[in-house]
Chain A
């Protein structure tokens, strides 16, 4: 796995860019910019579903979600750049593994939301019927994204080999 990721990084030029003078901080800046876009769109939508700023129409606020998707894509691209450039520092890092776990939970929660609840939430007339389910999903979503930020910050603290993951 490590060899595959390093080979990918080297053949695509990512490795050279990331090891240039400003490659790493530029990628980190874009990564955090993406997270802010996510919190500013998905996070606010979650807060609205939880009952904050009730006068805002959920269907209108949902129009900002594509910007959050752009933020998420920026995170995936820059996250792949980090992972493929220093796979030994990320693959075995418990903070990265926790971060990926919370991203997985957020993703499953989002799919469940769009499959069962989104249509009713966006329809003002039917929104009151799903208010509790929507609130729970919003709380899970917001908690997961906050946990993703926390785990992301802790990556440098749990740097291998001093904090090796339990199952490696």
Chain B
């Protein structure tokens, strides 16, 4: 069975059909994905800007407390993203832009984890050059993620599903 046939079979599962044909299921997933993304990217931007040198009197250890919300939002992104992927698996999994987004998200989240473990509950730790470089990289990766996410809708080459929104 080739890749496209596997994806077509996946699109014929009841869950995939539900995700595609129920406006509530699809658009609630899309909405929750955007909300989660706004909080994850927003919190990462705030931490990165602080590491770069904005608002230098804010303790980075204190700012790291927002990572609690960040990880809940990241879980929301993962769940809603999986639901959206189930709706149109062939459309996403045959598009290289999807893999660019996925790689950027994974690396950016690993950087978040690294920054959190370096500074969380450690007010005595000072900002070193590695952290500043990671902050710039984090901003770049989240910009790539956002851009790739938007371009996904415009760059697909395969669309097997019969009903579209």
Q: Which residues of chain A have a CB within 8 Å of any CB of chain B?
A: 22, 24-25, 28-29, 32-33, 35-41, 43-44, 47, 52-53, 55-57, 60-61, 63-64, 67, 146, 149-150, 152-154, 156-157
Contact = CB atoms under 8 A, between A and B. Distances in A.
Contacts, number: 108
Contact of A44 (B30, B31, B42, B59): B42
B117 interface: no
Contact of A149 (B38, B150, B165): B38
Given A60-B58, A64-B46, A157 B154 contact: no
A52 B39 CA distance: 15
Contact of A32 (B49, B55, B150): B150
Chain A contact residues: over half helix, strand or loop, or mixed? helix
B63 interface: yes
Contacts of A22: 151, 154
> What class of interface size applies to chain B in its complex with A?
35 or more
21 contacts: A25-B153, A29-B151, A32-B37, A32-B38, A32-B146, A32-B150, A33-B146, A36-B41, A36-B142, A39-B38, A40-B41, A40-B43, A40-B44, A40-B45, A41-B42, A43-B38, A52-B65, A56-B58, A60-B57, A63-B55, A64-B46
Contacts of A152: 34
Given A39-B38, A47-B66, A60-B57, A153 B46 contact: no
B27 A60 contact: no
Chain B contact residues: over half helix, strand or loop, or mixed? helix
B39 A56 contact: no
B31 A150 contact: yes
B163 to A, nearest CB: 14
Nearest to A37: B45
Interface string B60-83: 001101100100000000000000
A29 B142 CA distance: 11
Contacts of A32: 34, 37-38, 146, 149-150
